[in-house]
Structure formats: structure tokens, C-alpha cells
Amino acid sequence: GAVVSQHPSRVICKSGTSVKIECRSLDFQATTMFWYRQFPKQSLMLMATSNEGSKATYEQGVEKDKFLINHASLTLSTLTVTSAHPEDSSFYICSATTGDQTEAFFGQGTRLTVV
């Protein structure tokens, strides 16, 4: 299957700082990428849909000014958690699809800890 690489896998940051997470499709062009958030022992919650060259579409309840998404190319989407707080600590996972296939390919996830 196609490979999606997410970086970093773990990050610890101080409250008030911003953290950028990258999601790259390594061997295909991803017209659409998705960002999910997962709290411990819970399921994945869709945060936003990222389309190359256009603004991201955020799910209800997700603050777009806090979670900045940029999909500048067909192989890269970034999620920036701005002014991070301890409650933003979570596991963030991206997925990517070409749009013409049914399977979405997931990154390895990023464990964010805000101290």
C-alpha cells in the first residue's frame, strides 16, 4: 500500500509555544489529507479535511485559529498547534487519499505532550 510519513513521532513542548506536525505522502499525490485527534483509550476524532491549494474544512467544535492546517503541495500537509496548552496533549494522526480510491492511508501518528 501507499506510504504516509508523519513527523515528528513524539514532541514535548512548553505551554504557549507552537508545534508543527508534518504529514507527507511518499509515493503518491494526495489531493486530500485528513487530520484526526485521539485521546488515550478513545477513538479517532476527525478534526479537519485538508485539500491541496485551498483552505481546510474544519469539523464542528475544532478551532481553526488554534489548529492551523496548510496543504501547500500534493505531498505535504502540516498541522500547527498554536499557543499550545496541556489540554492539547493528544495523539494526532493524519491520513491521505488520492480521492479516487476507497482506502485512506494513515501516518504513524504524533504524540504531543504540552508541559
- What are the distances in angstroms from CA 22 to CA 14, 51, 61? 19, 15, 22
**Stretch of residues binding another protein (CB under 8 A), selected from 13-21, 62-70, 81-89, 102-110:** 102-110
When asked if residue 75 is in the footprint of another protein (CB under 8 A), the reply is no
Are the C-beta atoms of 56 and 100 separated by less than 8 Å? no
* Residue where the block lists cell 503541495: 73
Interaction mask 35-74, another protein, x per CB under 8 A: -x----xxxxxx--x-------------------------
Per DSSP, the chain holds a count of helices (H) and strands (E) of 0, 11
- Decide whether 32 or 80 has the Cβ nearer to another protein: 32
When asked if residue 27 is in the footprint of another protein (CB under 8 A), the reply is no
Pairwise CA distance, residues 66 & 91, whole Å: 16
Residues in contact with another protein by CB under 8 A are 1, 6, 32, 34, 36, 41-46, 49, 91, 93, 95-97, 99-109, 111
